[in-house]
Amino acid sequence: MTTLRCGAKTLDLSRPVVMGVLNVTPDSFSDGGRFLPVEAAVAQGVRLAEEGAAIIDIGGESTRPGAAPVSVEEELRRVVPAVEGLHRAVPQAIISVDTSKPEVIRAAIAAGAGLINDVRALAEPGALEAVVAGDCAVCLMHMQGDPQTMQRSPGYVDVVKEVKAYLHERVQKCRAAGVSAERILLDPGFCFGKTLEHNLELLRRLGELSPEGLPMLVGLSRKSIVGTLTGRAVADRVYGSVALAVIAALNGAVVIRAHDVAATMDALKIVTALQGR
């Protein structure tokens, strides 16, 4: 697939693109609280778009290890105004919302979101139906366990085989419900119920993971894998994150989820030239 249909918009995936991260939460591991006010969120979203982000991914509930869940009402209060503001401010960008709740999915689509980025791969009751009705794109991610428990003792017999099988099962559920292949993006879920070795093996064998040749999103920006390998604190993980983004793109990822959009864009321009795209 070289395009992703996101409601009324179509995203060209013939070359790698960047999804800029916009957390509207008080407790995200990287920038919790900085963009919680709506004005700050919109300004940051505009900056990400100006730096080259094709997608702006808004999250109203932290999914870092051990994060506490938030109510539907609180997530709606954080997310919907940001989606509405960015839909007006950067009409050319795809607005994505990082959520698993059907109520938030429906409200986000109504506010202007064209992509739902779900760490639970639409497994929550009503989530799949909300995406079907909204005619938007969806990113299906693999996670072992849940954010509260996922990093306690993750284990696999064959991490690549098991992640691929899970993604295939979720794709089949979506296709059977009426979500066309041109609306589906996949994410192996780096650091979501994986050890360092699991993450490295998934990155090495990224090209083996996609059922039906569906496009792959990779989110490694500033994550624990970067800290473990470099010894750097969260705020100092730009170089390590960009290195992993380049490796992911060379191994087949077409959407790179990143906090540091400008740096990642520069690196992907070099990857694109190398690949002759």
User: What residues are labeled active site?
Assistant: 223, 257
Contact 129, 122 (CB under 8 A): no
Task: Give every CB contact of residue 245 below 8 A, 6+ residues apart in sequence.
Answer: 218, 220, 221, 256, 258, 264, 267, 268
Q: How far is it, in rounded angstroms, from Cα 258 to Cα 92? A: 19
The four Cα atoms 204, 272, 48, 74 give a dihedral, to 10 degrees, of -40
Task: Give every CB contact of residue 194 below 8 A, 6+ residues apart in sequence.
Answer: 144, 154, 159, 202
Q: How far is it, in rounded angstroms, from Cα 36 to Cα 59? A: 10
SS3 146: coil
Q: What is the pairing mode between strands 17-23 and 255-258?
A: parallel
SS3 181: helix
Contact 7, 131 (CB under 8 A): no
Q: How far is it, in rounded angstroms, from Cα 196 to Cα 77? A: 35
